[in-house]
Amino acid sequence: MTIYQSGRKLWDWLFKQALYISSICLILLSIIDISNLNEYKLNGWGLINFPLGKVFYVFIVIVTIVFGYFSIEHTYSIRVFEEQLKEKNSNIIDLESSLADSVKEMNELFNSYLMLLVESLNFTHTERISVYKVYDDKFLLIGRSSVNPTLAKTSRGNYPINEGFIALAWQEGEFFIDDLPDPTKNNRTTYYNACKAVSEIPRETIDAIKMASRSFYIKRLSGFDNKPKAIIVIESKIASAFTKAAIDSKLEIVIQPLIMFIENNNGVNRSQTNNIEL
């Protein structure tokens, strides 16, 4: 460290301590006045009646004035900084609020669009459509619609990228099954065995599923750059509820607007619940 850097560092420290230094100097001035130290005169070393006390007194007065000014300036700088910080924090809060509103509006619009797809497929209270977008190697729910408000609710907000039927669709491009066993029978054991035969999945995951569907159509969706971006999950609690060909034909019509929504939906409602999706 150079002499200049050391001096600069010392000066910055003194500037920050200006209030304490000026306060100490004021105390010293009071002590000098009370003790009449300012009347002290030095005799010796060739000096006769040298007013050392007054010189020291004047020095302390100058230091008090200088560091008093610095303390005022430092206090003012801190006040200005705090006001600027408060203003920036307020602006950040406003921006976050605007972003949250935009995200909410986008999600509502996306869900409305999915509802049109639900209606075009003539789905009833036993079906729903969900869309998951990939973030940080996880599927995060960005949209869901169903005629049934219970099925339309957002439960688990994220899903492992390497587990369940959606993992198969992500890896292979699509997945379809419409003959899973009735999950209400045999304590879901038969249902679990059928799911496990297709894709390795923990038993506790199956037991925790709120919508144990029997028909699944899952398709990987790529963005405008042809890179995989999302997964659409169409499911029903009824076996043989739809055919793959019927879903393919409907998706072919709406695929471009769907991809547009996916590309622009970067705000994700991340649920903190522990409910499980298949």
Q: So where are the chain's domains? A: 3-92, 121-264
* Beta strand pairing call for 42-44 and 228-236: unpaired
Per-residue pLDDT at 271 exceeds 60: no
Confidence of residue 278 (pLDDT cuts 50, 70, 90): very low
What is the model's pLDDT at position 179? 95
* Choice between 119 and 77, residue whose per-residue pLDDT is larger: 119
The answer to whether the CB of 215 falls within 8 A of the CB of 170 is no
What is the model's pLDDT at position 104? 66
Q: Tokens 């037991």, residue?
A: 207
Q: How far is Cα 218 from Cα 232, in angstroms, rounded to an integer?
A: 6
Query: Among the listed ranges 161-175, 180-194, 210-224, 262-276, which one has the minimum average pLDDT value?
Result: 262-276
For residue range 83-124, list pLDDT tens digits in order. 878 887 777 777 667 655 666 666 777 888 889 899 989 999
For residue range 46-66, list pLDDT tens digits in order. 666 777 777 777 888 888 888
CATH class of the domain at 121-264? alpha beta
Q: How many CB atoms are located within 10 Å of the residue 11 CB?
A: 10
User: Helix or strand or coil: residue 129?
Assistant: strand
User: What rounded mean pLDDT belongs to the chain?
Assistant: 81
Q: How far is Cα 87 from Cα 90, in angstroms, rounded to an integer?
A: 5
In sequence order, what are the beta bridge partners of 259? none
The answer to whether the CB of 253 falls within 8 A of the CB of 134 is no
Which residue pairs from 148-156 have beta carbons closer than 8 angstroms and sit at least 24 positions apart in sequence?
A: 148/124, 151/125, 151/127, 151/211, 152/111, 152/128, 154/269, 154/271, 155/210, 155/271, 155/273, 155/275, 155/276, 155/277, 156/271, 156/273, 156/274, 156/275, 156/276, 156/277
Write down the pTM of the prediction.
0.62
Q: How far is Cα 41 from Cα 112, in angstroms, rounded to an integer?
A: 93
The answer to whether the CB of 271 falls within 8 A of the CB of 144 is no
- Comparing CA positions, the residue from 191, 185, 103, 99 lying closest to residue 142 is 103
What is the model's pLDDT at position 275? 38
Average pLDDT rounded to a whole number, residues 189-195: 94
For residue range 249-269, list pLDDT tens digits in order. 989 888 888 888 888 765 444
What is the model's pLDDT at position 72? 77
For residue range 231-247, list pLDDT tens digits in order. 999 999 999 999 999 99
What is the model's pLDDT at position 9? 76
What is the model's pLDDT at position 239? 96
